[in-house]
Amino acid sequence: MNFMQFFIWGAWLLTIGAYWFQNKHWSGQQFGIIFSTMGISALFMPALIGIVADRLINAEKLYGVMHILGSLTLFSLPLVESPTTFFWVLLLNMFFYMPTLSLSITVAYSALKSQNIDVVKEYPPIRVWGTVGFIAALWTINLTHSTTSPNQFYIAGAVALCLGMYSFTLPKCPPLAKKAKHKSFVDAFGLKAFTLFKIPRFAVFFIFSLLLGAALQLTNAYGTTYLLDFNKPQFKDLFAVRNPAALISLSQISETLFILAIPFFLRRFGIKNVMLFSMVAWVLRFGLFAFGDPAGGLWMIVLSCIVYGMAFDFFNISGSLFVETQTSPEIRGSAQGLFMMMVNGVGAIIGSLTSGYIIDKFFTYTDKSKDWHGIWLTFAAYALVIAIIFPFVFRDKHGIEVKQVADLA
């Protein structure tokens, strides 16, 4: 399940920019709006579909329906000839896809807990297969020369259709909330998690989730098209330019290693330091891109891809486990939804729209070429400011046993 879940995303997420700029030749500001579709859908769709799964339909069945509908939109994208229509079709696809991220976690946690398996210990190795799927998708797109072609959407759609049908064979995850009685409006709509903002360390955690969510969108949106822009006489025959998706896949290979290291780092350093490591890694990710090139500076691009594993995992996966272990059972699901909303919702919207405007306004020349050195340095400066501020505002003493957050309402 995890393999196909992230194969679908990996088949187009990092190469849609190449398709947009190299194939369709649409503008950067419009591209920023395209990447906001993830954020818009993450604002409400996971919570809405979560309510349906809690009360009406088995999570694994709903998961399958969403992927089947998503496959239809992916098959439609190559037929679109205007950026405006492309936005609406991709937004519809995100309406179907984004809820499956949390539904896949719900199905996995339900299956593990039904067998009395420790999710904190055993889920990261399972989640690794999602990263393997993402890597496999990048290599598939690269080897089929689909980096700038619409084939990436056909490949993603075919896998989405397969996963949709396969989902109906997954372990049953029936609705549980309908057994509960006398639930308040706040409980029914999963709004109780917002009371976590009353606790300072949770408020800071969610705010920085938003800020790092913005950083994540920057590397997703522009990494591959940055390498393709090196397609100049002195670079055009080099591996990095001819195989950008394969090179970027080093980021996901690194991710698999850092996922497995998360339990050790959390025990040894605590959530505060692990999150700080992530922020420093984002600075290195962007800074190395700024000074790298496919020739003598290839080592910087490779190193940037390696530190990406720490940048992504040490915040996203550790943050999810932080929420799982430090919130009470009755709000844990909605708290995970709130975390996803801050990272993939609000953060994604801010990151995609702001970056698109800044790149078009300050770093795009009259011939439409881009100042990638300036772009990546700006992004690195943004991550550096976050890393400097974070240790002074996030309070979480390492060494104290994890405590459940009880009555937050």
Q: Specify the CATH number for the domain of residue 224.
A: 1.20.1250.20
Q: What is the pLDDT of residues 263-289, one digit of tens each?
A: 788 878 887 888 899 999 999 999 999
Q: Please check whether residue 408 lies inside any domain of the structure.
A: no
Tell me whether residue 343 is in a domain.
yes
For residue 400, being part of any structural domain is answered with no
Task: Taking the CA atoms of 222, 225, 231 and 235 in sequence, report the sign of the dihedral they define.
Answer: positive
Boundaries of domain holding 384: 2-177+184-393
* Residue 403, in any domain of the structure: no
> CA 290: distance to chain centroid?
22
Q: Is the pTM of this model over 0.85?
A: no
Number of domains present in the structure of the chain: 1
Neighbours of 29 (CB within 10 A): 17
Rounded to whole angstroms, the Cα distance separating 141 from 20 reads: 15
Per-residue model confidence as pLDDT tens digits over 154-177:
999 999 999 999 999 998 887 765
The per-residue pLDDT for 404 is 39
How far is the C-alpha of 163 from the C-alpha of 155, rounded, in Å?
Answer: 13
What percentage of the chain reaches a pLDDT higher than 90? 25
Report the distance separating Cα 112 and Cα 146, nearest Å. Answer: 37
Q: Identify whether 398 is part of a domain.
A: no
In a domain, 409, yes or no: no
The pLDDT value given to residue 85 = 93
188 inside domain: yes
pLDDT at 341: 80
Of 45-54, 130-139, 265-274, the range with the lowest mean pLDDT is 45-54
Report which residue type is found at 42.
A
Confidence grade of residue 74 (pLDDT, cut at 50, 70, 90): very high
Predicted confidence at residue 191, as pLDDT, reads: 61
